[in-house]
Amino acid sequence: MKEFNLNALVRKNILTLQPYISFRDHNEFNAPVMLDANECPFGEFNRYPDSSQKKLKNKLGELKGVSPNQIAIGNGSDELIDLIIKIFCEPKKDAILMMNPSFAMYGFYATVNENEVIKLDLDENFEIIKNDFLKITQERDIKIFFLCSPNNPTGNSVEDIEFFIRNFDGIVVVDEAYIEFSGNRSGIELLDKYPNLIVLQTFSKAWGTAGARVGSAYASEGIIRFINTVKAPYNVNSLSQELILNLLGDKNKLKENVDNVLKERTWVENQFKTIECIEKVFPTDANFFLIKMKNAEEVYNKMLEEEILTSKRAPAIPDCIRINIGTREENEKLISVLKRITS
């Protein structure tokens, strides 16, 4: 990796962009009369949310062992992915690299921004071939590499993440949406070592608050400043901020959710061994399984007839369906229907 120069990677128009700053959120008041933002003086949620999410960042900083200035909060991780691409990738000029198969939204937002999407094909075990990675990154000028670990939709974690960060001259985004189910150490621990690293996490999965739409990015203070510059002023609403703060104050909630999912994951995996149409269950570190099935299209449609919603992965991954872990009642219905389909 060359000597890292953040400003050399950022789009020139972003370098000079001035952020929207809410005066009230950047000053302290005891009992202000708020006549500055054209809000209605009546109503339960009549005031704009804290645009800088100070309380939430302070709490996350304590829990993650980083400065609040190294944290950005997004309207889900999707917004943060979009913002990162906008900061570093010049439309019609720059390219991103993503694993294939992986989370489709990396390519989606790059395409919306008119950036080329280069796909790094995984091997038969859905692992990155290091020589292929080195070849592509040496031959092509790529701004961002998106690493999803555990990977969606395959479920496996990326081995030797530091190798890819070390050997890439652009920005490496490690998306850890499912890390709580894996037991792996977070890339957040590597931030001091690698200034080109951004780590994404979310409250949508293990925390059980997908409806609140809150994601977080961890990076150097310089990168976070750019994210805060380009984000919408009030991108995370008051209700969501309050909900997540309350969750973070409950030390048992996350552990309870993860323990329940892992218990059900083990039960479901054992039940899959009795299902005739299942050819292979791929190893997973997430809250879902990627499953290769005989007559996958037919099985998928028959489950749909029973109102069991799963994720068909063809044509990207032929003959495969992704199924996430539900409650015991939901899991029992899934297994019952699968047995009936193949009997």
Q: Check: CB of residue 95 under 8 Å from CB of residue 70.
A: no
Q: How many domains does the chain have?
A: 2
Quote the pLDDT of residue 1: 64
Distances (CA, A) of 110 to 70, 88, 89, 207, 273: 24, 11, 8, 28, 40
The last residue of a domain, from among 208, 229, 249: 249
The type of residue at 311 is S
Nearest residue to 171 (alpha-carbon basis) of 199, 150, 190, 151: 199
C-alpha 98/C-alpha 201 separation (Å) is: 17
Range of the domain at 319: 252-342
Distances (CA, A) of 3 to 160, 169, 193, 282: 21, 8, 13, 39
C-alpha 79/C-alpha 85 separation (Å) is: 10
The answer to whether residues 283 and 244 belong to one domain is no
The answer to whether residues 244 and 324 belong to one domain is no
Q: Residues near 18 by Cβ (< 8 Å), separated by ≥ 6? A: 229
C-alpha 219/C-alpha 57 separation (Å) is: 13
The answer to whether residues 19 and 108 belong to one domain is yes
The answer to whether residues 215 and 287 belong to one domain is no
Distances (CA, A) of 215 to 4, 57, 90, 145: 26, 12, 24, 19
Q: Residues near 281 by Cβ (< 8 Å), separated by ≥ 6? A: 269, 272, 289, 290, 291, 292
C-alpha 219/C-alpha 74 separation (Å) is: 14
Is 82 inside a domain boundary?
Answer: yes
DSSP annotation of 212 reads G
The answer to whether residues 192 and 313 belong to one domain is no
Cα-Cα end-to-end distance for the chain: 56
Q: What are phi and psi of 44, to 5 degrees?
A: -70, -40
Quote the pLDDT of residue 343: 63
Surface-to-core class of residue 144, CB atoms within 10 Å of its CB (0-12 exposed, 13-18 middle, 19+ buried): buried
* 3-state SS, residue 28: coil
C-alpha 164/C-alpha 170 separation (Å) is: 11
User: pLDDT of the chain along its 343 residues, tens only?
Assistant: 678 999 999 999 999 999 888 888 888 888 899 888 899 999 999 999 999 999 999 999 999 999 999 999 999 999 999 999 999 999 999 999 999 999 999 999 999 999 999 999 999 999 999 999 999 999 999 999 999 999 999 999 999 999 999 999 999 999 999 999 999 999 999 999 999 999 999 999 999 999 999 999 999 999 999 999 999 999 999 999 999 999 999 979 999 999 999 999 999 999 999 999 999 999 999 999 999 999 999 999 999 999 999 999 999 999 999 999 999 999 999 999 999 987 6
The answer to whether residues 257 and 143 belong to one domain is no
C-alpha 6/C-alpha 223 separation (Å) is: 8
The answer to whether residues 27 and 87 belong to one domain is yes
Quote the pLDDT of residue 234: 95
Q: How many helices (H) and strands (E) does the chain have?
A: 12, 11
95 strand-pairing partners: 116
Distances (CA, A) of 114 to 70, 109, 140, 227: 28, 9, 17, 19
161 strand-pairing partners: none
The answer to whether residues 198 and 124 belong to one domain is yes
CATH number at residue 318: 3.90.1150.10
The type of residue at 321 is I
Structure tokens belonging to residue 246: 């309350």
The answer to whether residues 89 and 42 belong to one domain is yes
- CA dihedral sign, ordered 83, 86, 89, 95: positive
Listed in order, strand segments (DSSP E) in 122-170 are 144-148
Is 2 inside a domain boundary?
Answer: no
